[in-house]
Amino acid sequence: MSLWTLWYRLTSPKDFTYVASACIPWLTVSCLLCLAYGLFASLYLAPADYQQGDAFRIIYVHVPCAFVSLLIYGALTIAALTSLVWRVKLANVFVDAAAPTGAALTLLALVTGSLWGKPMWGTWWIWDARLTSELLLLFIYCGIMALKNAFPDKRQGNVFKNTFVLIGSVNLPIIHYSVAWWNTLHQGSTFKLLGPSKIAPAMSQPLTVMLLAFCLYAALVILLNMRNAVLLECHRARWVGTWLTKRDS
């Protein structure tokens, strides 16, 4: 079996449901393990910061939320392109399932950033490039969710929605480089693609675990959403009945 036929089989509703169902328990367990260790390490094992003391620990929620909100949008862009060019139906299911998760994490990144900003910077909010572009990301996610239901014809709606996703992807590099391109109140990037990162190893290790935990959480929620959508879409098919009886027995 070639890689292409494997890919086509995986995007069929039936095979997707079976593969997703096999992954979900593993994702749940690994996400909970990472989250448990990550929280313990970030609250107890990591040392306090030289400037911000214990208040810096909100980084362990803020950075994973912000990172995964961008990561999901990156995946959304690839899915939208796949749907527009190759007309893979499952790509549309992914866009619909991932947008609410992305929106939720973006909102969390904004709220935790605001809570961090008040004691450290002295303000809840400032219209600097980083904060504004992340707020724009939230609006884009909301737009994607709204566009889904804005057209009576589902196929037409999908084309508009996916085009909108592609246009919105221009915001991704803006968010990432905003702190380098303009003067902002938000500090520059701690992690560098090239060169050493600017965080002590004892502090970055819990952050890595929390990043992993948030990625696993996002993958889990998106897979559950997608499986629901697929089952609902195919509820008349015979394999759904077989799958349900197999699962319940």
Partner 1 sequence: MHPIRKQRLLFISLFMLAIALAIALALYALKQNINVFYSPSQLFTAKVSLKQTLRVGGLVEKGSVKHNTIDNQVQFTITDYHHDVIIYYTGLLPDLFREGQGIVAEGHVRANGTFQATEVLAKHDENYMPPPVAEMLAKNTESAHA
Please report, as residue ranges, which positions from 108 to 167 form the binding site for partner 1 (by CB under 8 A).
119-123, 126-129, 166-167
Residue 84, interface with partner 1 (CB under 8 A)?
yes
Residue 209, interface with partner 1 (CB under 8 A)?
no
Token look-up 């884009």 returns 140
Bridge partners, residue 53, by sequence: 49
In 3D space, the residue among 112, 103, 116 whose CA is nearest the CA of residue 185 turns out to be 116
Sign of dihedral through CA atoms 96, 100, 101, 105?
positive
Helix (H, G, I), strand (E, B) or coil at 49: strand
Residue 190, interface with partner 1 (CB under 8 A)?
yes
Distance CA 118, CA 124 (A): 5
User: Residues 6 or more apart from 131 whose CB is under 8 A from it?
Assistant: 110, 113, 125, 184, 185, 186
Residue 228, interface with partner 1 (CB under 8 A)?
no
Q: Which two tokens stand for residue 143?
A: 């737009």
From 36, 200, 237, 244, residue interacting with partner 1 (rule: CB under 8 A) = 200
53 dihedral zone (left: phi>0; alpha: psi -120 to 50; beta): left
Residue 58, interface with partner 1 (CB under 8 A)?
no
Query: Looking at 90-98, 103-111, 192-200, 230-238, which segment touches partner 1 (CB under 8 A)?
Result: 192-200
Query: Looking at 14-22, 179-187, 220-228, 236-244, which segment touches partner 1 (CB under 8 A)?
Result: 179-187
Residue 187, interface with partner 1 (CB under 8 A)?
yes
Cβ–Cβ under 8 Å, residues 113 and 175 = no
Q: Considering CB under 8 A, how many residues would be counted as binding partner 1?
A: 41
Name the minimum Å distance from CB 24 to partner 1: 32
Q: Which residues bind partner 1 (CB under 8 A)?
A: 47-52, 56, 59, 81, 84-86, 119-123, 126-129, 166-167, 169-170, 174, 181-185, 187-190, 198-200, 202-204
